[in-house]
Structure 1
């Protein structure tokens, strides 16, 4: 006898009981789902975060912020990144993530041109893309960009240089390399503010790559050409470390002011020992959290903010131990974040 035939032979009361039980289970199931829903809207989404550099303290803090938001919103998050700042290393990671088909990708592109096509491909596959920290030439495929206001941060660095030098003397910028959106914006803001100071002799921007030895050499050569060198603006960790070495080798620590973009442990130590007089601190913790929130909003049909710019401030030896400063110092682990 077929299953349908067996069901027809059930006693009417038994059929009624089974129907009642079935309805009860549906109601109980719906109630259970409602009890587990915290209103976060996460819905079990899978999100992949691809940072610019694995093991870097800045991106460690960004990942901490992302993890905190993922836990709060009930989404699954995995974090990956290249071993060096190189598009040739980041693109294969991105392609592997695309093949795994997560619901969303958060990524800090290491090159604003080389990552353009691969990210457009991710979006074409229906993956929600949020750009964090850095961007590409045409970010129209991304549902949101969450980044520091690097231009404003550069202006804050210039303000600190002006304060420390009294608005006089020669100033040089040591940058990494062309094609990195964040550091380019920092220099833009720095130069714009510095141009308003007639007493400053701005000798321009020098590229040192991510090479501390080259940054040290820039200080040496600049000092030889401009004995009145009063300040150095370094746009990231390694340029700052190299600049400090160059200043120290010239026996001018403290005399030539160093303003960097390094809230890593090395930059903090430079403030404590007087190798640097100021470090511009960005807020990667906030970038990571906002990135996950915007991805979840896009996936769940909620309003999304197309561009979010997070804040910055200048850390000095005087405010280094303030709780708000400590909160945003970069850490690879989430301790203290």
Structure 2
């Protein structure tokens, strides 16, 4: 992307302060209609990975509800893309008056270290939600799904769907350095080795862009005639993979396992575009993130690492797992 667009997008994200879950757009902050300023030490900030994704909307909803219940104010801003430079702009915009605690989903496990460390130096407690820094000394707590186990669960789900049929399996990851999706890809690849009828067709990165995921699928279908499965490590890669299969007339012929349970993915599962989804519980991640932030601020015990549950959903189990579908608004 062009640098001018990147900077402008980040500045726009930093300035957008609209009613939160009325629009359901991540990156917009909720005031609940109350113009009173919060008490000193009760200002929380959430910077998720990207705007407008149902996963982060669900996380924001859970965080806002928990903050309100505890008498804290939570404001949310998010980059327009899952991009370390854009997220850095938002972190730096906190300036010399940082929140009491910052809940953040680092978009890069290394590149986000310096800007987050600066906020911590100014006195803010740091809570990682969904993704994490490689440096474990920065955050008070880290709340996420066990993404390695999520990848393993995806491989097990695919293996059950494929049965004894032999073939190759492609993994579509997002960006090198993204802790969550990289762990999912590794967990999947490791588990795939336990199913001798399935062989890896490799891991390819999509830069979190659906059009790139679609192109990777198109290329894989041409180069790998025995392709029987695709694992997409997040929403964008899944939607792009579904598009690639649809364009090639291979929907249903190649099993697509997606990660997350956004409205579009759930609808895709109903239509047969996906054969399985691995759902997280982002609302619980947001809720627990706020709980740990408040505990850190109030001098109460903090749990350094918390793990949210994961759920394998197929077309046959949709109704039984509807509580795990992600939201587009609160």
Q: Name the TM-score, length of structure 2 as normaliser.
A: 0.85
CA distance in structure 1 between the partners assigned to 2:95 and 2:325 by the alignment: 32
Cross-structure match for 1:171: 169
Contact persistence 1:285–1:328 (CA under 8 A): no
Q: Deviations over 1:166-207 (max 9, x none)?
A: 142111111112010000010111011111111112111011
The separation in 2 between residues aligned to 1:79 and 1:221, in whole angstroms, is: 39
User: Do the aligned residues in 2 keep the contact of 1:131 with 1:142 (CA within 8 Å)?
Assistant: yes
Does residue 1:333 correspond to 2:329, yes or no?
A: yes
TM-superposed deviation, 1:44: 6.2
CA contact (8 A) 1:43 1:74 kept: no
1:182-197 matches, within 5 Å, as 182-197=180-195
How far 1:224 sits from its partner (Å)? Answer: 2.0
SS at match of 1:263: coil
SS in 2 for 1:296: helix
Corresponding position of 2:119? 122
Say which of 120, 139, 143 aligns to 1:142: 139
Question: Does structure 1 conserve the Cα–Cα contact (< 8 Å) formed by 2:232 and 2:241?
Answer: yes
Which of 190, 195, 213 lines up with 2:211 in the alignment?
A: 213
Q: Give the SS at the match of 1:305.
A: coil
Map of 2:76 onto structure 1: 79
**Which residue in 1 is equivalent to 2:61?**
64
What is the CA distance between 1:127 and its match in structure 2? Answer: 0.9
Could you tell me which residue of structure 1 aligns to residue 104 of structure 2? Answer: 107
Secondary structure at the residue paired with 2:128?
strand
* Contact persistence 1:44–1:74 (CA under 8 A): no
**Alignment equivalent of 1:310, drawn from 285, 308, 311:** 308
Selected match of 2:93 from 82, 91, 96: 96
Q: 1:54 touches 1:84 (CA, 8 Å); kept in 2?
A: yes
In the alignment, what sits opposite 1:240?
Answer: 238
What is the rounded CA distance, in whole Å, between the counterparts of 1:274 and 1:267 in structure 2?
10
Unpaired runs of 5+ residues, structure 1, are 1-41
Asked whether the equivalents of residues 216 and 244 of structure 1 are also in contact (C-alpha less than 8 Å), the reply is yes
Once the two structures are TM-superposed, the CA of residue 43 in structure 1 deviates from its matched residue by: 8.5
What runs of 5+ residues in structure 2 fail to find an aligned partner?
1-38
Matches of 2:326 and 2:94, distance apart in 1: 26
SS at match of 2:96: helix
Query: SS where residue 188 of structure 1 aligns?
Result: helix
> Structure 1-normalised TM-score?
0.83
Partners of 1:236 and 1:179 in 2: how far apart?
Answer: 14
Indicate the residue corresponding to 2:29 in structure 1. none
The 1:98/1:321 distance shift into structure 2, 3 A limit, reads farther
Task: Provide the rounded CA distance (Å) in 1 between the counterparts of 2:143 and 2:95.
Answer: 21
Distance (whole Å) between structure 1 residues aligned to residue 308 and residue 217 of structure 2: 31
Distance 1:69 1:282 in 2: 18
1:272 and 1:103 map into 2 onto residues whose CA distance is: 43
Larger radius of gyration: 1
- Whether the 8 Å contact between 1:219 and 1:243 is mirrored in structure 2 is yes
